[in-house]
Structure 1
Amino acid sequence: MNRPVHIAAAWLLVAALGANPLHAQSPDPTPAQPRLASDSATEPASNSAMDGELFYQLLLGELNAVVNEPGVAYSLLLDAARKTSDPRLYKRAVDIALQNRSGDSALVAARAWRQAIPTSREANRYLMQILLGINRVADALEPLKRELSLAGEQDRAAAIASIPRSFTRVSDKKMAISVVEQALAEYLNHPVLGMAAWTALGRVRQEAGDMTGALEAARRAQAIEATADGPAMIALSLMDAKTPQAEALVRKYLAGRPRAEVRLDYARVLMGVQRYAEALAQLKLVTGEKPDNAQAWLIRGTLEQQERQHAAAEQSLRRFVELDATAADASEGGDSKRRLTQAYLALAELAEHRKDYSGAQDWLDRIEDSKDMLSVQSRRAAILARQDKLDEARALIRATPEKEPGDARMKVSAEVQLLRDGKQYRLAYELLRDALLRYPKDVDLVYDQAMVAEKLGDVGEMERLLRQAIAAKPDFHHAYNALGYSLADRNLRLAEARQLVQKALEFSPGDPFISDSLGWVEFRSGNLPEALRLLQQAFKARPDAEIAAHLGEVLWTMGDRKQALAVWKEGQGLSADNETLLETLKRLRVKL
């Protein structure tokens, strides 16, 4: 510790207190008398109300704080505060107690402070926060009520809105709900404050895990003020918690004049539950309403690329770069650089897809952050591989420096992907086998090896590896789905296949690829209407060439050949080289 510096700081604090007269706060101070211009020349100097004894007491208190005697410092400063009713001294005593983790002492000082100055919101807030900090939640009811009472009409809505933040860290969540309900009771039906009160109560209930109560509070809040953001934001977060009724509140809000940011959050939630078409519709509305919202263009472009809408994706991503590049150059912010890197990588991949390899390299050359070196080199390697330079591509991946702990593992995945794309399945299998010697607990590598084993025709090995992955990670829905689909595709053990795929859906409800697998199980089982329903649902949620292959075959088998051809053509437009689609068309002797 640099003790002279701290002693000097103590002197400065005491001097500051001395420079301003110590006095009790009054709720109704006497107005100052107007000064005459001539007074400035004759007015005597203003002397501090601090006498020598009090000055010495304050100095001694601060010096004890400096030399790590917080108990003595606290006692001296609290005594001085009681003598003078000065809020600064009460606050200092409370702070010393809190800094030394003495909740009881802080509580004594805060109560003395509020008793001396009953109208002080600061004293009352300190008291409430200390009570919550030491988990005396029930005792916080009275100061919470007083806080709302002391807040003026203009500040009361803000005071209500701040309540959930105050109760975030308490351990007794049920008591928190009870306290907040009691404190807000008189405001819940208020025509102006009712929305804020119900919203605050909803957030506290949600924090306590009462999702039903939170949804009801959001509904009541929205009934008072339909255009308010708060209820819609609660409903949005409840959609993540698998509360489907919440979406109705979100849609009701969006039917009005919503903020673009809320609509953007809704799109993110839809993406999280794999409702990509709906998410894209929302993103188009956001970029239409706020064409300068760079983040919306980035998310839209990324989703369009995922949905194989390549021309639209490139347009959206270029628009993002136009909007964000200047801001990134000006701010040098890490977030801006990361967003630009994401866009440049996506644009490089789009250029690669249309075989504009020079253009792809140009986009990659714009990336400056060395943290993204592995991603950049992986993309460069993919470009080389598409030009039949697989050996060069693999060498490039292997030569990339490993700067982060997970880079070596990522390099394995990047090289395996190159080999799989190049149909070098035996090499990919051997690389994964060697990698698992280094990472024996890596379930994702086990899963990847199973998928490569299937490509090699070693179905027994695939099944063994998938069961190994499930044993290591019982909620690994990809493994359940892959095993169930494989059994159904080979028309084996269909009851077990159905059970496996349904288990996958339990872990990832609504996943269109798992719904596709279940539809295929039903098709193999002869349940054509149910197969059709599931596959139509999956294809609507996620237009994909493999799902199109399955849906088209069900339609073909049911005699609706015109619709089957239409679906297959749509799938061909999504991915003309999809193996499942090509195999289906060849087996059924169909030419599009």
Structure 2
Amino acid sequence: MNILHRTATVVLLSSAFGVGAQTVAPIAAESKGTPGTETALNSGLNAPLFYQLLLGELNVMAGEPGTGYSLILDAARKQKDPALYRRAVELALQARSGDAALTAARAWAQEIPGSSEANRFVLQILLALNRVAETAPVLQTLVQASPVIDRNDTINAIPQTYSRVADKSLAATVVREALAPSLKQPFHAAAAWTTIGRMELAQGQEQLALTAAREGHAVDPASPYPALLALELMEQGQADAETLVRQQLQAASTSTAADSAVALAYARILIDLQRNREARAQLETLTTRQPSQAEPWLLLGSLQTQENALPAATASLQKYMTLARQAGDERAARGLTQAYLLMAQIAEKQKDFPAANAWLDRIENADDIMAAQMRRASLLARQGQLPQARALLRGQPERRPEDVRLKLVAEAQLLRDFKAYAQAYEVYNEAANRFPDDTDLLYEQAMMAEKAGRLADMERLLRKLIAAKPDYHHAYNALGYSLAERNLRLPEAKQLIEKAVSLAPADAYIQDSLGWVEFRMGNNARALAILQAAYSKRPDPEIAAHLGEVLWVQGQRDQALKIWREGLLLAADNETLLGTLKRLQVKP
């Protein structure tokens, strides 16, 4: 070490520790934690101990972190000072010596038993060393030492802490053991069961996760934690989890942010499942109970726009924009962009094109300009200016690498919306050539080939996709369904769809395809059972078309008409449903 560097170090340490005084002020205790639990137990730092620390730091600077660590850890033990223990842990970690870091952290936790920071270091180091089985006692200590008011937050954070553990089964066992006391504490049991459920979900045990959620819900029916886990399970196809969500919403007053999060997330899932009437009811209840919460108004306005309830949508979006402007944060700014796009869409539906453009003019964020221009292109196309709409999209600057793809996809979708299928196919072909490794683009190109009547190209592209990505279940389903729809090679079609089912067993659309190929093969009873299950899982106009036809052929005509009417309420312009009704000469 050069003389100047050494002198500077001496000066800094002398200043910090007050060399020259008979008694030196101790190193400051941790600023966080319970007052008094981590203050230095020794009131003074004598000259020999100061020089021990100085020598330790000089060794670190000279490239001898091991020696420096030993000296500083010894000083920490003598002083029982958390700052010195922290420094020893840091030095060991910098030297990539996990065992040494663990030794220092454990010494710290032993000398200062109330130190949450020390125990957090012990837990994190054990996990980093993959000594997961040893973490249960320290995790339990951390949870039980946390303030009662914060303990549920501590419990809820556990799955993230263990997320990188490779042995998910061991992690779940350890966490369950650590939370045993919390399961007996009424205020914390719901959170504890939820965390246990999330650990089960992390290892793919959906049914065990649902069981844990039910246990937590039984302890505290109004707790949002089990309901939030149940929502995650719903998204993964566990339809039985919905009952728990409904029960929580009935038990809770939706007066807290967590309760509102349950209602809002449930509404989003209902929309994804195309159960729009139920979603709207949830959102109307939420906006009535908490009218000052902005996000539900935006979601309600979006849903009302989709349903062409334009005056109601306008009112909801106006309410959202007022609340969002008051919030003034980044999240609100993003939401305002969505609201402006929806208001432009409403004006477009009302054929008020100047008003639509005026709403789009309000969008200033560069990241959202493309979305605005896509809406402008739609406005032009609706006014009979499809070539100008395409030129508008083509002329957009490419600020980011992904903008090239985004522009091409936007153009293809515009052409598809206006039924220019052959041109849309060519644009997707251009995009697929530009991005040859993009399997999603290849799939979209294949679907557009079918729309354009290029069935041989569709089959070629889907087989190419299957060869490139054998687990791409959409490709198997699309090819199998296309064959079944045309009554071609039905055994092969069924085999393809069954492969898709094996890859995505919870997908209602794939179940629909399986039911449809069974119907085409004359297996009406099996087709009916499969389609009824698919429609129950996901009410959809296309599934309604198929289910209704099977019912109709089997003589259950009143039930068929009921299903078709429901399908028309979901989407009155669905091509498959309208085509089925026309072919069967039915007016439901």
| TM-score, scaled relative to structure 2 | 0.80
Change (3 A) 1:90 1:304: same
Q: Report the CA distance between 1:48 and its aligned residue.
A: 6.8
CA distance in 2 between counterparts of 1:496 and 1:135 reads 48
Structure 1 residues 461-500: aligned runs within 5 Å = 461-500=457-496
Structure 1 residues 539-550: aligned runs within 5 Å = none
Structure 1 residues 184-223: aligned runs within 5 Å = 184-191=179-186, 194-223=189-218
Q: 1:411 corresponds to which residue? A: 407
Change (3 A) 1:379 1:198: closer
Residues 1:457 and 2:453 are matched in the alignment: yes
Change (3 A) 1:224 1:273: same
Structure 1 residues 177-188: aligned runs within 5 Å = 177-188=172-183
CA distance in 2 between counterparts of 1:588 and 1:85 reads 86
CA distance in 2 between counterparts of 1:163 and 1:543 reads 36
Q: Report the CA distance between 1:430 and its aligned residue.
A: 3.3
Q: 1:225 corresponds to which residue? A: 220
Residues 1:381 and 2:367 are matched in the alignment: no
Change (3 A) 1:278 1:536: farther
Q: Report the CA distance between 1:389 and its aligned residue.
A: 0.9
Amino acid at match of 2:319: R
Q: Report the CA distance between 1:376 and its aligned residue.
A: 1.8
CA distance in 2 between counterparts of 1:457 and 1:155 reads 61
Mean Cα deviation higher: 307-316 or 79-88: 307-316
Q: 1:249 corresponds to which residue? A: 244
Q: 1:60 corresponds to which residue? A: 55
Q: 2:395 corresponds to which residue? A: 399
Amino acid at match of 2:125: I
CA distance in 1 between counterparts of 2:308 and 2:577 reads 16
Q: Report the CA distance between 1:240 and its aligned residue.
A: 3.7
Residues 1:370 and 2:363 are matched in the alignment: no
Change (3 A) 1:456 1:5: farther
CA distance in 1 between counterparts of 2:282 and 2:391 reads 43
Q: 2:234 corresponds to which residue? A: 239
8 Å contact kept, 1:298–1:343: yes
CA distance in 2 between counterparts of 1:105 and 1:155 reads 31
Q: Report the CA distance between 1:256 and its aligned residue.
A: 0.5
Change (3 A) 1:275 1:120: same
CA distance in 1 between counterparts of 2:319 and 2:551 reads 41
Change (3 A) 1:510 1:91: closer
SS in structure 1 at match of 2:409:
helix
Residues 1:347 and 2:343 are matched in the alignment: yes
Q: Report the CA distance between 1:369 and its aligned residue.
A: 0.9
Q: 1:43 corresponds to which residue? A: none
Residues 1:138 and 2:133 are matched in the alignment: yes
Residues 1:100 and 2:95 are matched in the alignment: yes
Change (3 A) 1:8 1:396: farther
CA distance in 2 between counterparts of 1:149 and 1:459 reads 64
CA distance in 2 between counterparts of 1:571 and 1:199 reads 37
8 Å contact kept, 1:60–1:73: yes
8 Å contact kept, 2:200–2:209: yes
Residues 1:127 and 2:122 are matched in the alignment: yes
Change (3 A) 1:305 1:136: same
Q: Report the CA distance between 1:115 and its aligned residue.
A: 4.2
Q: 1:44 corresponds to which residue? A: none
1:501-548 deviation digits (Å, cap 9, x = unpaired): 454455455655555545544554456666667667767776766566
Match of 2:427 among 420, 431, 440: 431
Mean Cα deviation higher: 523-532 or 257-266: 523-532
Residues 1:80 and 2:85 are matched in the alignment: no
| TM-score, scaled relative to structure 1 | 0.80
Q: 2:25 corresponds to which residue? A: 20
1:558-590 deviation digits (Å, cap 9, x = unpaired): 677788778777766776665555655655566
Amino acid at match of 2:17: V
1:27-65 deviation digits (Å, cap 9, x = unpaired): 999xxxxxxxxxxxxxxxxx9733333333333333444
Q: 2:39 corresponds to which residue? A: none
Residues 1:290 and 2:290 are matched in the alignment: yes
Any stretches of 5+ residues in structure 1 without a counterpart? Answer: 30-46
Instruction: State the structure with more CA Rg.
Output: 1
Mean Cα deviation higher: 362-371 or 453-462: 453-462
Q: Report the CA distance between 1:401 and its aligned residue.
A: 0.9
Q: Report the CA distance between 1:397 and its aligned residue.
A: 1.3
Q: 2:267 corresponds to which residue? A: 267
CA distance in 2 between counterparts of 1:233 and 1:80 reads 48
CA distance in 2 between counterparts of 1:267 and 1:75 reads 58
Q: 1:359 corresponds to which residue? A: 355
Q: Report the CA distance between 1:396 and its aligned residue.
A: 1.1
Q: Report the CA distance between 1:408 and its aligned residue.
A: 1.5
Mean Cα deviation higher: 69-78 or 358-367: 69-78
SS in structure 1 at match of 2:251:
coil
8 Å contact kept, 1:93–1:106: yes
SS in structure 2 at match of 1:255:
helix
Q: 2:439 corresponds to which residue? A: 443
8 Å contact kept, 2:497–2:510: yes
Cα RMSD over matched residues?
4.3
8 Å contact kept, 2:442–2:465: yes
Mean Cα deviation higher: 101-110 or 192-201: 192-201
1:224-259 deviation digits (Å, cap 9, x = unpaired): 222223333333333344444443433332230151
Any stretches of 5+ residues in structure 2 without a counterpart? Answer: 37-41
Amino acid at match of 1:428: A
Amino acid at match of 1:387: Q
CA distance in 2 between counterparts of 1:457 and 1:502 reads 25
Change (3 A) 1:208 1:414: closer
8 Å contact kept, 2:25–2:45: no
CA distance in 2 between counterparts of 1:303 and 1:89 reads 58
Residues 1:89 and 2:92 are matched in the alignment: no
Q: Report the CA distance between 1:137 and its aligned residue.
A: 3.0
CA distance in 2 between counterparts of 1:66 and 1:485 reads 69
Q: 1:337 corresponds to which residue? A: 333
Change (3 A) 1:506 1:9: farther
